[in-house]
Amino acid sequence: MRMTAFDTFREYANEHGVVFYYEGEFSSNVIAAIGDAVKNKIEQDPDASKKKRKIFSTFIEMAQNVAHYASGTEDESKPGSGALAVGKSGDRYFIASGNYVESRHVARMKEKLEPLRSMTLDEIKQAYKVQLRNDEHERDGVSKGAGLGFLTVARDAAEPIEFSITETTEFKGLFAYFFLRATI
């Protein structure tokens, strides 16, 4: 990267409140290291004192989402790759992630995400409780957890989560780019 490009990137990040950015593989070691950096950053901010748990919980859920579901490579033994940013706008934090997902999962993802955008906090909490008792995720062959990740992110968010899934021509159309953003 040229010095001018780096300076442009740094200025853009500062103007848009980005306090942490990472792009690459999301192994458990990388998530732990990034988690420590994010935790140290938010502990220094008095505006984050009452939101620390939610910021960190959302960060972990989104990082694990990249680690578990990112696609775009033939080698499934490699950790998922993607990008994650943590930033601050006013007194609120945002966590954003992006990664490739298999196109065949797009409809399923939209089915889970769309309702969250219009649900109340009480409805999200109720859906969370229902999902805790639901064992269907164990049989669906896709979920690698309890199916609580998106619900956790939506529950901790101060406003509706944002997402987009963009079909790409890369990788012979087998993958789409998934972007998720939560404001805490």
- Residue 16 CA to chain centroid, in angstroms? 18
pLDDT of residue 32: 96
Distances in whole angstroms, Cα of residue 37 to Cα of each of 28, 34, 89, 178? 14, 5, 19, 24
pLDDT of residue 128: 92
Buried b (16+ CB within 10 A) or exposed e, 110-149: eeebeebeebeeeebeebbeebeeeeeeeeeeebeebbbb
Domain count of the chain?
A: 1
pLDDT of residue 2: 87
- Domain range spanning residue 18? 3-183
* 85 token code pair: 């940013």
- Distance between CA atoms of residues 117 and 124, nearest Å: 10
pLDDT of residue 169: 80
- Distance between CA atoms of residues 86 and 182, nearest Å: 10
- Residue 172 CA to chain centroid, in angstroms? 25
- Distance between CA atoms of residues 102 and 90, nearest Å: 35
pLDDT of residue 96: 98
pLDDT of residue 156: 96
- Distance between CA atoms of residues 38 and 95, nearest Å: 11
Distances in whole angstroms, Cα of residue 149 to Cα of each of 4, 75, 95, 119? 39, 24, 14, 16
pLDDT of residue 139: 56
For the question of whether the overall pTM of this predicted structure is more than 0.85, the answer is yes
pLDDT of residue 145: 60
Residues of the chain with pLDDT under 50: none
pLDDT of residue 141: 57
